[in-house]
Chains A and B, each alone.
Chain A
Amino acid sequence: EIVLTQSPGTLSLSPGERATLSCRASQSVSSNYLAWYQQKPGQAPRLLIYGASSRATGIPDRFSGSGSGTDFTLTISRLEPEDFAVYYCQQYGSSPKLTFGGGTKVEIK
């Protein structure tokens, strides 16, 4: 069973800065089957990225995903005030199970 480890646990940045979030898998993720979600307080998660690098519908291009194998990255090129939230990675391809990482909180510095 694949375990996903996200780092850092908390990222303190200012609006306009670049955010780099890491998701590391305990074994290779087949076909780059990795997704990223954003969750704001009191809200359900929202899909950002799937297939490691494909943006979901309506997601701004300041969000980008990259990586392969066991190391994946979510990058927010310039943080907007609405981007401060918790971000989760999720692996698929081990149907019917899904696996989530523990999350990274991006907070205002």
Chain B
Amino acid sequence: EVQLVESGGGLVQPGRSLRLSCAASGFTFDDSAMHWVRQAPGKGLEWVSGLSWNSGSIGYADSVKGRFTISRDNAKNSLYLQMNSLRPEDTALYYCAKDKGIVATFIDYWGQGTLVTVSS
């Protein structure tokens, strides 16, 4: 059974940093591209960042480019999102998501999300 378990969310002040982690199991981690997708309260889905199976292809939404860094450790079956210079508009539920392909295609499994709240 595929499992994606996010951690690292919480309440943080504007301008501070936070690092999200996602522990993956139940599939061959380095056979899949991975993504972070967020959902602000009461809003729709927003793709944040994604990377290919070997980290050779990495992308960011314009809203987070230059502030967030995605990475993966295939030896540890883990995905990360380093979030710097956080803003109130980054407040959202952050989902770790598994791609069907080795590069970005569509998402076949989602975690349950970790909540990030940016507020003073």
Contact = CB atoms under 8 A, between A and B. Distances in A.
Interface of A: 33, 35, 37, 39, 44-47, 50, 56, 86, 88, 90, 92-103
Given A44-B113, A47-B106, A50-B106, A98 B44 contact: no
B58 interface: yes
Contact of A44 (B59, B95, B103): B95
Interface residues of B, number: 26
B47 A99 contact: yes
A100 B57 CA distance: 20
B115 to A, nearest CB: 12
Contacts of A94: 104
Contact of B107 (A33, A47, A102, A103): A47
B103 A96 contact: yes
B112 A100 contact: no
Given A44-B113, A50-B100, A103-B45, A96 B107 contact: no
